[in-house]
Chains A and B, each alone.
Chain A
Amino acid sequence: MDYQKLIRNFSIIAHIDHGKSTLADRLIEKTGLVAERDMKEQLLDNMDLERERGITIKLQTTRLVYKAKDGQEYIYNLIDTPGHVDFTYEVSRSLAACEGAILVVDSTQGVEAQTLANVYLAINEDLDILPVLNKIDLASSRPDECKEEIEDLIGLDATDAPLVSAKTGQGVDELLERIITDVPAPTGDPEGKLKGLIFDSKYDNYLGVIIYTRLMDGCVKKGDVIKMMATGKQYEVTEVGYCAPNPVPTKELRAGEVGYVCASIKQVKDARVGDTFTLANDPAEKALPGYKKVQSMVYCGIYPAEGEKYESVKDALEKLQVNDAAFNFEPETSQALGYGFRCGFLGLLHMEIIVERLEREFDLAVITTSPSVTYKVVKTDGTEMMLQNPSNLPSPTEISYIMEPMVKACIMIPNEYVGTVMDLCQQRRGSMIKMEYITPTRVELHYDMPLNEVIYDFFDALKSKTRGYGSLEYEFDRYERSSLVKLDIMLNRELVDAFSMIVHESNAYARGRFVCEKLKEVIPMHQFEVPIQAAIGQKIIARETVKAYRKDVLAKCYGGDISRKKKLLEKQKEGKKRMRQFGTVEVPQEAFTAVLKYDEGK
């Protein structure tokens, strides 16, 4: 098809901080899509959080029009990809929408872990890869060495890799030309049966759910009735168009094009990433490959912090859910924290992001409880229950056995870290399935691991032990019977259910000690001693004590500051009262996350 010759669909892939977003900004600027003065840095990362963390969470896609040296106008569809293990599936779907990928390598750093993980995803999707060396304006740039690394580590010919500086714009003109020659034009039959790949979707207050799509075959226009092939649900198309990056309506979308479709869909979960839509009255026979239903892997409780309303948290969670198919929640109660919600996430980062968005975008203070996976509890009466909140675990006499979710984990590391990482995996109860040398210096480890070992801090530990070179992917495999116990934490001899977690028997002591030590660091001194205890059932397995304030009876009452002394006395009185009323101590919010953080020394 002639129109397809002028289309290039591609992604940019890179290690964090190698300049992906800056390069995207430069491409947008050079093709004149956005006037220079309107450029916000990192245009595609549109959430504040993304800009601050420098990572892409939600995808953005944009269409650029490039007037090439051959006199033709090309349409470049740039599809941005998120860059974290929690979102690997989303990355693979957006790559599936492309024919090529620009691989950005920081010429001062060389090839790094994330580079490889993403390159392999791209290779899996049969994309043509155009390596680009960035930051060549810096004195420490060493493009020739980097080219060699790319050839050795990835096996790509990097001889002609464009040298660019996304910061100064140097080399970007050449890159724009190279996209024409190095990224293939799309194919697909516009006369064929409609097949649209959903690679992202988001909720818009005016348009409803916006589906971001790559049409593989066929055409779609306003008024068509489309059908989601995974769910069978049908919708009438109200608008089609492309993103620039704001939506611009067009008459139709054709095979090979990238754009958006609106069809009065209420929730993003009805337009799932990876699904295929087709025409209801002339459907395609088979959906596009690769659709997976996204499942929450990690659960935690989210509770309004003191002074925050339950309803406001609920409203905010509902709003976030509309836009995030992978996030779900339902009400629950905690003895320690009152009314709140049990929430499901893709992984820990996803969880942190949701919590941060609650805090920033909705200005809410929330408390999150220890994250947990879903356990399968088989009771003595033969019934099974799925357990997402550790404090709901039935009493030991009612439990026949507990099963935990196992994942297949794939860890990619430079060979020098093999020993360290194998130790780490062993500590986390992993058993190795196989080890592969992808290149002479790069190893892929395949492990069978319990998910609950992966979710806490495994990724942080892996990064720390491999200096950031390790990458991790995991996929749910099965449930397996395991010796699991509930670890309870007591403050001042009162159980705080929000801290309860399910751990493997073999780790219980270490985990208990770690949590007690962490809590001791973050809980402030009170007027009384606060014992922190970890227990399994009735048995105390670890104990720390937060010392009491000294009584300060004999203290100086300085310069007539009677009010200060009075406040102290009032606090002493109140402190006791609070103890009686709530049977608990003042626990700062950070305590709930502090117990989860990876600590190199421990």
Chain B
Amino acid sequence: MTGIYIHIPFCLKKCDYCGFLSFPGKEEMMDGYVDMLLKELDEYQVKADTVFFGGGTPSLLEPRQVKRILDKINPTGEVTLEANPKTFDKPKLLAFKDAGINRLSIGCQSMEDDLLKTLGRVHTREDFLKAYTIAREVFENINVDLMFALPGQDIQRWEKTLKEVISLSPEHISAYSLQIEEGTRFYQEYKMDRLNVPSDLEERRMHHRAIEILEDAGYSHYEISNFARKGKECQHNLKYWNMEEYIGIGLGASSYFKSERFKNTDDLDKYLSGNLDREVHINSVKDTAGEMVFTALRKREGFTKERFKEVVGQSYDDFFRYILDERKEYIEEGLLVETEERVYLTLDGMDHSNEIMAKFV
């Protein structure tokens, strides 16, 4: 079964850290955009289980637009919609649910107003609490997105946000570290040393603290940045980490389909005119092997050597013999574990995951 990612590049206001494809003030284009999404879907004759509406701010869509899309896909599994707390009320959520949405992912980011302001978010703590209450009344599966290592944030403040969110008891919590993306206001500020973000060391401490607190509260740390109650892991995102097929539709959306990776144009006008101008990359065995490893290592359980062979067609040990020395070093350092069946990163290994993953690509 395939997963479908649907990119919605519309938002109320661009956040100061946001490097994703998203534009404020273009809502009048949404109908035309949805038409294009449907046209793109025509290309594929696939059965989908999971669907994920990401953005941008997908909750800016009107429920009838979501319904048009989902009626066409008719998914059988988890259907997530990302939502900004300022963009919905209860009737709208009910209508989303009616259209087929069964999982809501709310962008909270922080429970402190000054940090929200720093990020350039349009909502406040109060907005989030109200939104969450409504969401709880409608949906049984909710994710709350949080961010840490924010300018001016320390570990105590981060704990406070975490604990408050835990007390609301969402099924799933994502905790991403703030990424400084080129082309954002944060990038320039950071480079010029004017963005007071916690050091890498502090960032790691915040991450470790999050794992401790969330695991204590009964959330399993199943992926570097994701935590879930048992059975509530995000089925759609797991496809990315398991080298399963997925189709991305919409502006700039990426797909991995029939051993090809491709990505739609980033140009909204081009996209709306029906020109997808795709960048296509046919994976070599080396590509696939590298991707298999670095995506799966994001999960706590890593991957089985059996799965590796299934995906790549060669055994893990043979394929990565050429970096045997490096692997051994990581194993000795206690960062990487390789057993007969399985390969995974330790918690310490996750702190160095980019460096280790880079060895495999």
Contacts and interface: CB of A to CB of B under 8 A. Distances in A.
B160 to A, nearest CB: 19
A554 B5 contact: no
A8 B54 CA distance: 77
Nearest to A525: B191
B179 A555 contact: yes
B240 to A, nearest CB: 5
Interface string B275-286: 000000100000
Nearest to B255: A560
Interface stretch (B86-94, B111-119, B353-361): B353-361
Interface in A281-306: none
Nearest to B246: A560
Contacts of B352: 553
A566 B294 contact: yes
Nearest to B279: A563
A561 B224 contact: no
Instruction: Pick the most buried of A551, A560, A562, A564: most chain B CB atoms within 10 A of its CB.
Output: A560
Contacts of A557: 240, 295, 298
A521 B197 CA distance: 19
A550 B224 CA distance: 16
A271 B175 CA distance: 75
B203 interface: yes
17 contacts: A520-B192, A521-B192, A547-B191, A547-B193, A550-B179, A550-B197, A554-B175, A555-B225, A557-B295, A559-B253, A560-B254, A560-B256, A561-B263, A562-B254, A566-B294, A566-B361, A569-B294
Interface in A505-549: 520-521, 525, 546-547, 549
B312 interface: no
A398 B256 CA distance: 66
Nearest to A564: B254
A580 to B, nearest CB: 15
B361 A552 contact: no
A562 B256 contact: yes
Given A562-B240, A570-B361, 18 more contacts: A525-B191, A546-B191, A547-B190, A547-B193, A550-B203, A552-B354, A554-B207, A555-B179, A556-B174, A556-B225, A557-B298, A559-B254, A560-B239, A560-B240, A560-B255, A566-B291, A572-B354, A573-B358
Interface string B239-274: 110000010100001111000010100000000000
Contact of B351 (A521, A553, A570, A572): A553
A546 B187 CA distance: 12
Contacts of B20: 558
Contacts of A572: 354-355, 358
A482 B3 CA distance: 74
Interface of B: 5, 7, 20, 52, 54, 149, 174-177, 179-180, 190-193, 197, 200, 203, 207, 224-225, 239-240, 246, 248, 253-256, 261, 263, 281, 290-291, 294-295, 298, 350-355, 357-359, 361
B191 A560 contact: no
Contacts of B359: 573
Given A547-B191, A559-B54, A563-B261, A553 B350 contact: yes
Nearest to A545: B193
- Which 3 residue pairs of A and B lie closest in terms of their CB atoms, listed nearest first? A554-B177, A555-B179, A569-B358
A560 B176 contact: no
B82 to A, nearest CB: 10
A178 interface: no
B177 A552 contact: yes
Nearest to A523: B191
A554 B52 CA distance: 21
Nearest to B195: A547
Given A551-B200, A570-B361, A560 B5 contact: yes
A565 interface: yes
B173 to A, nearest CB: 14
B180 A550 contact: yes
B354 A551 contact: yes
A125 to B, nearest CB: 52
A144 to B, nearest CB: 51
B121 to A, nearest CB: 16
B213 to A, nearest CB: 15
Contacts of A521: 192
A546 B246 CA distance: 39
B212 to A, nearest CB: 15
A565 to B, nearest CB: 7
Given A547-B193, A551-B354, A573-B361, A558 B54 contact: yes
B295 A562 contact: yes
A546 B192 CA distance: 8
Contacts of A553: 177, 224, 350-354
Contacts of A566: 290-291, 294, 361
Nearest to B7: A559
B177 A563 contact: no
B190 to A, nearest CB: 7
A336 B193 CA distance: 28
Given A525-B191, A566-B291, A573-B361, A555 B248 contact: no
Nearest to A570: B361
Contacts of A554: 175-177, 203, 207, 224-225
A556 B240 contact: no
A556 B5 CA distance: 15
Nearest to A571: B358
A366 B179 CA distance: 34
The listed residue with most B CB atoms (<10 A of its CB), out of A525, A552, A553, A561, is A553
A560 B5 CA distance: 8
Contacts of A552: 177, 179, 354
B279 to A, nearest CB: 8
A564 B19 CA distance: 12
Nearest to B225: A554
A554 B176 CA distance: 6
A10 B103 CA distance: 84
B354 A559 contact: no
Nearest to B55: A559
Contacts of A573: 358-359, 361
B291 A562 contact: yes
A564 to B, nearest CB: 8
Residue picked from A546, A557, A572, most chain B C-beta under 10 Å = A557
A569 B240 contact: no
Contacts of B263: 561, 563
Contacts of B255: 560
A573 B323 CA distance: 14
A408 B357 CA distance: 63
Contacts of A555: 176-177, 179, 225
B234 to A, nearest CB: 12
Contacts of A558: 20, 54
A380 B199 CA distance: 52
A32 B291 CA distance: 73
Contacts of A559: 5, 7, 52, 54, 248, 253-254
Contacts of A551: 200, 354
A525 B193 CA distance: 12
B79 to A, nearest CB: 15
B108 to A, nearest CB: 14
A521 B193 CA distance: 11
A324 to B, nearest CB: 40
Contacts of B177: 550, 552-555
Contact of A563 (B197, B281, B298): B281
